[in-house]
């Protein structure tokens, strides 16, 4: 899968893709992530990419032309499944959206900065708008990293144990059950006996029951669909 991320501050994007699981996914050729600096598409010698808001108001708006040039160039090179704009007024990102994007081939993620982008770019190119939650970040870059991470880890071969993505919280609308590792007793607290029993049928039943209890306590809203 290929993800193209368009940003006015691409430096903000790089490190998550240079470490750990995402880095390995790129090295194995399972994912390609390309960064594009909007400033490279600026049309005047000041490399201007933003201007004041028509009608008055605080803040700067990312201009049409550099964004249009950048997106149009990418679209001329290949077909994209979606051109996604990261914005706090978008649809809230979740595991179902990540799952569906993990089956796609080419995605563009456009990061807004300053006050946002000119509406005409949304009308011209954007096919989906995504928010990572009801709060406002300084730009879409961190949101783009979150979205790309959630998608790439689902690609076959990225995680060592294929099962581990399937048993994540949210994959079946339930949060994860508690997990333990050695030692068996820590500060007087014992690992639940069932997990040491070797009876995998019973262990699965216990985990499922715990997942329901924990979801009921922490996120009862998820059980509405369960």
112 marked as binding residue: yes
The contacts of residue 46 (CB under 8 Å, 6+ apart) are: none
Number of residues that bind ligand ADE (CB under 6 A): 13
Q: Would you say 150 and 133 are in contact if contact means Cβ atoms under 8 Å apart? A: no
Q: Which of residues 28-57 bind ligand ADE (CB under 6 A)?
A: none
Least distance to ligand ADE, CB of residue 70, Å: 18
**Using rule CB under 6 A, residue 87 touches ligand ADE:** yes
Q: What is the largest CA-CA distance in the chain?
A: 71
Distance CA 162, CA 62 (A): 41
Q: Which of residues 107-166 bind ligand ADE (CB under 6 A)?
A: 112, 131-133, 135-137, 139-140, 143
**Using rule CB under 6 A, residue 84 touches ligand ADE:** no
**Using rule CB under 6 A, residue 88 touches ligand ADE:** yes
Identify which of 151, 144, 157, 147 has the alpha carbon closest to the alpha carbon of residue 25.
157
The contacts of residue 54 (CB under 8 Å, 6+ apart) are: none
Extract the annotated binding site for S-adenosyl-L-methionine: 112, 132-137
The footprint of ligand ADE (CB under 6 A) covers: 86-88, 112, 131-133, 135-137, 139-140, 143
């Amino acid at each position: 899968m290929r993800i193209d991320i368009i940003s006015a501050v691409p430096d903000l994007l790089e490190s998550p893709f240079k470490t750990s699981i995402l880095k390995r996914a790129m090295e194995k050729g399972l994912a390609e992530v390309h960064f594009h600096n909007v400033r490279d598409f600026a049309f005047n010698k000041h490399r201007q990419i933003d201007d004041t808001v028509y009608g008055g108001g605080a803040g700067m708006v990312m201009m049409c032309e550099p964004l249009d040039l950048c997106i149009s160039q990418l679209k001329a090179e290949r077909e994209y499944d979606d051109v996604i704009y990261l914005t706090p007024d978008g649809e809230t990102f979740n595991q179902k959206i990540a799952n569906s994007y993990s089956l796609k081939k080419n995605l563009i993620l456009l990061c807004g900065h300053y006050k946002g982008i000119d509406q005409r770019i949304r009308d011209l190119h954007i096919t989906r708008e995504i928010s990572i939650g009801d709060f406002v970040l300084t730009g879409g870059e961190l949101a783009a990293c979150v979205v790309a991470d959630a998608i790439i880890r689902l690609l076959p071969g990225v995680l060592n144990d294929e099962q581990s993505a399937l048993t994540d919280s949210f994959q079946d609308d339930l949060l994860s059950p508690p997990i333990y590792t050695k030692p068996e007793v820590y500060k007087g607290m014992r690992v639940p006996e069932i997990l040491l029993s070797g009876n995998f049928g019973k262990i699965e039943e216990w985990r499922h029951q715990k997942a329901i209890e924990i979801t009921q306590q922490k996120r009862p809203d998820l059980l509405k669909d369960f």
